[in-house]
Structure 1
């Protein structure tokens, strides 16, 4: 009970930590999200002999703060994942993206420092990419049929099938080898069901300079009749699924046929919550 000479004081360690992290980030200058700057970040950590390379970071699009994240593994690697992801998307350019980051020496795992920052910035209406799919990797087979919200990252910035597929080798090769090369050479996930028969199928790759669309057309023409390649808004899958339609698909490769599809979406204000961004490892088959 309060009086003129007494009251109650509640100490919030987590709020204080969140405020200190935000203040430290606020003193930093944003840098373009480029490979060169990430290499410099790595060199800084080596030069200062940091015991841990984990930390927190912010991403900006133009002058707007759009994402707050953490890196349990080296910060440059996590930021490099984002660089690669954005490079394979439509409606956005890496030239728009800048970042700030803090190496966090203390072990704050238990209090989740990025969640403290998210709580703070969300109150001001910032960080629209948090909890809308940006931080996720492969969501897994069970979510392939999910209908996305209209403001989901993948709906706003779908994958670019006109982007060059890196890591290709010209010439005759096994389909199984080509599939792995495609997976390794795209900036978005390509998940495929493995099959022993792919070791027996030979494919001729005419050029190392092919787009994702061109190489998927090439592969689809070699697949058995019951297989298809489905380009979803955020990634590509290939399964023996007898031409199943996926709500968020916008292009199918079925044999020599390429079929355009209008993806479904839910209103941005739908009540169901998006799953938390995660660090789930990508998988090739389920």
Structure 2
């Protein structure tokens, strides 16, 4: 039988009640993903997916490293990751696998990827969700940033030996060559545009050329006060030679490469990391 509480008694007839619906959803999502097989991150497997929104998890050598979302298309989002990883050193696509869940439109409003992030952080660390893997181009103001030692770009720097797609041998406007390089690389190439580049002709010697080879060609044609700087995660070209960048490991000036030793800060969470952002 319930007791009657008087004015002078301790208030035992009211207290807060918290229903952890979000935690329950996160646990269910994680369990559903863990119950799936994992497929290699390759085009053949991606093209079998339905063009739907959803959440996914990435694994490197069988170890869980990243959780993300696709607001519109899981295949498109996973292709972005496939392309990005293909242009990196110290990592191979044959070691990457994934699993994914299609998510209904009304469920997307609950931020299912954040539910998964919360779940996995309670269980331990998610290496790539806090190390810059999901970032887009950080912008000019971040070019001089010292990256942390556990940053994705430090662990897996860009590959300058990667062939550039879409090259055509022969004479081409420098502006057009720069645009071809930008679209033909699996990492970002940001450059300052100049009206002179639309009229300046450059000779491309072959269709099969690496980024390193093409950047030598380009740097030989741009004015002496310009340079190309290969940072750990992307490449930039500006009229700021001989300025140095803390995360640069190679410069191209007057047609010649110049190697550098990039700086790296202590390990820790990467400022401004975009978790599961659709690009």
State if a TM-score over 0.5 links the two structures: yes
- SS state at 1:194 partner: coil
Q: 1:106-132, CA deviations, whole angstroms, 9 ceiling, x for partnerless residues? A: 423443211111111122224200021
Q: 1:224-259, CA deviations, whole angstroms, 9 ceiling, x for partnerless residues? A: 111000000000001112321110000000112311
- SS state at 1:155 partner: helix
Alignment gaps of 5+ in structure 2: 1-9
Does residue 97 in structure 1 map to residue 105 in structure 2? Answer: no
Relative to structure 1, is the Cα distance of residues 280 and 179 closer, same or farther in structure 2, using a 3 angstrom cutoff? farther
Larger mean CA deviation between 237-246 and 102-111 belongs to 102-111
Partner of 2:122: 123
Mapping for residues 133-152 of structure 1, pairs under 5 Å: 133-152=132-151
Q: 1:53-80, CA deviations, whole angstroms, 9 ceiling, x for partnerless residues? A: 1111000001210000011120100000
Structure (1 or 2) with the larger CA radius of gyration? 2
Partner of 1:56: 55
The 1-side partners of 2:33 and 2:125 are apart by 15
The 1-side partners of 2:278 and 2:219 are apart by 28
Partner of 2:156: 157
- SS state at 2:106 partner: coil
Instruction: Compute the displacement of 1:2 (Å).
Output: 9.7
Question: Of residues 271, 275, 283 in structure 1, which corresponds to 2:272?
Answer: 275
Instruction: Compute the displacement of 1:201 (Å).
Output: 1.0
Q: Is the 8 A contact 2:71 2:278 kept in 1?
A: no
Q: 1:191-220, CA deviations, whole angstroms, 9 ceiling, x for partnerless residues? A: 111110001211111101100000000000
Q: Is the 8 A contact 2:77 2:278 kept in 1?
A: no
Partner of 1:111: 110
The 2-side partners of 1:158 and 1:193 are apart by 23
- Root mean square deviation, CA, Å: 1.9
Q: Is the 8 A contact 1:139 1:280 kept in 2?
A: no
Alignment gaps of 5+ in structure 1: 46-52, 282-286
